[in-house]
Amino acid sequence: MAKSTFERAYDPSRTVGHVDHGKTTLTAAITVISAHQPAPPRAAPAFFAEPSPPTTGGLTPMRPRTPAQRQAAERKRKAQKLARRKNRR
């Protein structure tokens, strides 16, 4: 005799909030209401049906830096290099 399978509608969700701010109460209330009023079936979002764009396999080009950004990056590299030298001693 074949076993029948039970399929449950499953929609994962998360409740984020601070401690003692009613997350469990809210989740319980939503569960009770949704049990009494089941949602109609929904179609999958359109982005699942669309094919993904072809990839070239190349790297993403970096955005051009301003002179001020280049100078700040150079100062940071020099400071890190100096810190590494000090740590060796």
Tokens describing residue 34: 């949704």
The identity of residue 51, as a single letter, is P
* First-to-last C-alpha distance (Å) of the chain: 77
Answer for the pair 9, 38: CB distance below 8 angstroms, yes or no.
yes
pLDDT digits (tens, 9 = 90+) for 50-85: 776 666 666 666 666 788 888 888 899 999 999 988
> Is this prediction's pTM over 0.85?
no
Q: What is the 3-state secondary structure (H, E, C) of 42-61?
A: CCCCHHHHCCCCCCCCCCCC
What's the confidence (pLDDT) of residue 11? 66
pLDDT at 80: 92
Task: Say which residue the tokens 């039970």 belong to.
Answer: 6
Please tell me the distance from the alpha carbon of residue 56 to that of residue 54, in angstroms, as a whole number: 7
The predicted-structure confidence for 24-53, as pLDDT tens digits, reads as follows 899 889 888 888 887 777 777 776 677 766
